[in-house]
Amino acid sequence: MKQKIGIVIGVVLILLWCLLPVAWIISMSFKDEASITNGNPGFLPGDGTFAGWENYRAVWDNDQFRRAIWNSIGISLIATILSVIVATLAAYAIARLEFTGKRLVLSMALAIAMFPVVSLVGPLFDMWRAFGIYDTWPGLIIPYMSFTLPLAIWTLSAFFREIPWEMEQAAQVDGATSWQAFRKVIVPLAAPGVFTAAILTFFFAWNDFVFGISLTSTEAARPIPASLAFFVGADPFNRPASLLAAAAVIATIPIIVIVLIFQRKIVAGLTSGAVKG
Amino acid sequence: MTSTAVPAAAEPAQKKQVRNGASDRSKAENRLGQKLVAPAIILMLIVTAFPMIRAIWLSIYDYSLTAPDEREIVGIGNYATALTDPLFWKSTGITVLYMVVTVAIELVIGFIFAMVMHRVIFGRGIVRTSILIPYGIITVVSGFTWQFAFSYQNGFVNGWLPFIGDDFNWFGDTTPAVIAICISEIWKTTPFMSLLLLAGLAQVSEDMVEAAKVDGATWWQRLWKVIIPNMKAAIMVAILFRALDAYRIFDNIFVMTNGAEDTQSISFLTYRQTIEQFQLGMGSALSVLLFLSVLLIAFLIIKLFRVDLAQARQEG
């Protein structure tokens, strides 16, 4: 009984921890912009300072922000797809084949996962300008791919190790062609792992800030996090806090949707990728 | 006796043949394996090894993008300047402080969360879904959320805390600003920590805990003598990952204080030199130092706590 009460309190604490700040930023996004300049303290908008959808409309009408959303979606999706394809090849080799250099790949992936990203942006900034991909989509897609590969390779090789590969041969013995065996047996078994790796990769790309501010200079490729940090309203000395809050909420919606739909897959991927249990 | 002699004589030839076959096969497997991992290796090298070598090369120059023609070799001059500059040591100190404080607090809270998630039955889905929201949220958004929350003009924290005046400026001094930055960092990354620890908890055998209970061990004894020793690998991996991640702290500082009030980390200092002030030579030297310090921390944690990564990931 005592333990049960403890767990209920724990659950309430976790929910408060996770959701209260989210509720706060949503509440902030409904505070009237004019009242923000004069000061409008408190968790909820004060009397007569509820702005309705006004801030959201203002953010949506902002070309720079719309462009940043488009950049973020495009860059993150392309990087995710390419990274998962490359990682699937590597993870298959790691899980299924014996070859020299296997340990090297795994240690390299580990080293890159721990790499201080900031120490690369200087040389990359220089290199990308020489190659002519500074401030372009490929200029961000390439580093995102490289930095999501370790996570994708770990997650996928952990999943692939669990697949009963004998089933492929069994299907062939039963008269299936190699292609049928692959499509009908292996693909459905491997798909959840690939999908999980894709979600985690997408989160990384969507969240990145350091590359986003260092390797872009205009709205041509600037993703949302960078755009949010550089968002200046009409008055450069007074950041438009409630507009920023509205923009932040918009940038969070895709994450919440993904989390709501794929909760189970993400938890499985995170726990299998880092600590294989 | 004779029956064993015959196969024994035939065996070497047979074995040789098998070995030859196997070696052809394993050669092919070797080639295929290397072909399959090649794209991943090349991609990882383009963005890390190659720029890192370039950083080492650039770091011996006095090289500014604003005056590219005046580039000259200064040898270890940039390193000497950095290592004798109090700003470098101040930034390193504050970075170590961020790392130690956030990882220690996250470990405790993350462990409690993991215990709750491990035991909870009713509402398990809701808890796991909520815990993924801070994990998935953009760090910059978390920074803004907490910056606004701590703002005395528009936030709620001052109003909710009884012992703090309503007009207290959290970003006006080092200590409160560091606390605010740490809270944003801890809020966002504790879920990740707790999920790693949850995976570790799942590995602890229920029978063993039950046996300790039957033998009369108290809850506290079971926790310290049975549960924690049996999930040590998971704890160490979680600490290693989070510590190295925390040492690279950048986003929250950029958004919340922009390095004001002595809150700048070593990553932030490096970024400023390279991207904002175009000092590629000096910035590269700082990049190399940052890289070396991350290596050092990884080495220390692995040696100190004897983290066996291969064992933790079950690789032989």
Q: Which two tokens stand for residue A180?
A: 């049928």
CB contact (8 A) between residue A18 and residue B33? no
Nearest CA in chain A to B25: A98
Contacts of A16 in chain B (CB under 8 A): none
What ipTM describes this predicted complex? Answer: 0.87
Q: Which of residues 95-114 of A touch B (CB under 8 A)?
A: 97-102, 105-106, 108-110, 112-114
CB contact (8 A) between residue B51 and residue A124? yes
| A120 touching chain B per CB within 8 A | yes
Contacts of A100 in chain B (CB under 8 A): 30, 34
Nearest CA in chain A to B253: A229
| B36 touching chain A per CB within 8 A | yes
Contacts of A10 in chain B (CB under 8 A): 112-113, 115-116, 120
What does pLDDT average to over chain B? 84
pLDDT band for position B16 (50/70/90)? very low
CB contact (8 A) between residue A276 and residue B312? yes
- Cβ burial, residue A172 (10 Å; 0-12/13-18/19+): middle
Q: Reply yes or no on whether the pLDDT at B108 is more than 80.
A: yes
The CATH classification number of A63-274 equals 1.10.3720.10
As a whole number, mean pLDDT of residues B238-267 equals 89
> pLDDT tens digit string along B65-101?
777 777 778 878 889 888 888 999 999 999 999 999 9
Q: What is the pLDDT of residue B15?
A: 45
Tell me, letter by letter, the H, E, C secondary structure of chain A. CHHHHHHHHHHHHHHHHHHHHHHHHHHHHCECHHHHHHCCCCCCCCCCCECCCHHHHHHHCCHHHHHHHHHHHHHHHHHHHHHHHHHHHHHHHHHHCCCCCHHHHHHHHHHHHCCCCHHHHHHHHHHHHHHCCCCCHHHHHHHHHHHHHHHHHHHHHHHHHHCCCHHHHHHHHCCCCHHHHHHHHHHHHHHHHHHHHHHHHHHHHHHCCHHHHHCCCCCCCCCHHHHHHCCCCCCCCCCCHHHHHHHHHHHHHHHHHHHHHHHHHHHHHHHHHHCCC
Residue A31, beta-bridge partner list: A50
| A207 touching chain B per CB within 8 A | yes
pLDDT band for position B14 (50/70/90)? very low
More confident site: B252 or A269: B252
Ranges of residues in chain A whose predicted pLDDT is under 50: 273-277
- Among the partner residues B117, B154, B160, nearest to A241 by beta-carbon distance: B154
pLDDT band for position B10 (50/70/90)? very low
Q: Reply yes or no on whether the pLDDT at B6 is more than 80.
A: no
Give which of A108, A257, A275 to mutate to test B binding, by max B Cβ within 10 Å: A275
pLDDT band for position B12 (50/70/90)? very low
| Fold of domain B86-312 | MetI-like fold (1.10.3720)
User: What is the percentage of chain B residues whose pLDDT exceeds 70?
Assistant: 90
| pTM of this structure | 0.86
CA angle A12, A16, A19 (to 5 degrees): 130
Q: Closest Cα to residue B63, out of B73, B54, B52? A: B73
The shortest C-alpha distance from A79 to chain B (Å) reads 12
Report CA A212 to chain centroid distance, whole Å: 13
Q: Pairing mode, if any, of strands B72-73 and B61-62?
A: antiparallel
Contacts of A268 in chain B (CB under 8 A): none
> pLDDT tens digit string along B17-53?
445 556 777 888 888 888 899 999 999 888 888 888 8
Contacts of B270 in chain A (CB under 8 A): 118-119, 122
Contacts of B248 in chain A (CB under 8 A): 116-118
- B183 secondary structure, DSSP code: H
Q: How many CB pairs under 8 A join A and B?
A: 322
Quick one: CA dihedral A55, A56, A59, A61, positive or negative?
A: negative
> pLDDT tens digit string along B112-148?
999 999 888 888 888 888 998 999 999 999 999 999 9
Nearest CA in chain A to B152: A41
Q: What is the pLDDT of residue B1?
A: 39
For chain B, domain boundaries: 86-312
| A171 touching chain B per CB within 8 A | no
CB contact (8 A) between residue A98 and residue B34? no
The shortest C-alpha distance from A174 to chain B (Å) reads 25
Q: Reply yes or no on whether the pLDDT at B180 is more than 90.
A: yes
CB contact (8 A) between residue A125 and residue B275? yes
Q: What is the pLDDT of residue B154?
A: 84
Contacts of B127 in chain A (CB under 8 A): 11, 14-15
CB contact (8 A) between residue B40 and residue A259? no
Nearest CA in chain B to A140: B47
CB contact (8 A) between residue A99 and residue B234? no
Contacts of B267 in chain A (CB under 8 A): 116-118, 210
pLDDT band for position B7 (50/70/90)? very low
The shortest C-alpha distance from A232 to chain B (Å) reads 13
Q: Do B117 and B131 contact (CB within 8 A), yes or no?
A: yes
| A79 touching chain B per CB within 8 A | no
Q: Reply yes or no on whether the pLDDT at B2 is more than 70.
A: no
Q: What is the pLDDT of residue A238?
A: 66
- The span from the CA of B117 to the CA of A10, in Å, is 9
Q: CATH 1.10.3720.10 in chain A: give the residue spans.
A: 63-274
Give which of B36, B197, B201 to mutate to test A binding, by max A Cβ within 10 Å: B36
Q: Reply yes or no on whether the pLDDT at B294 is more than 50.
A: yes
| B87 touching chain A per CB within 8 A | no
Q: What is the pLDDT of residue B310?
A: 52
Q: What is the pLDDT of residue B277?
A: 83
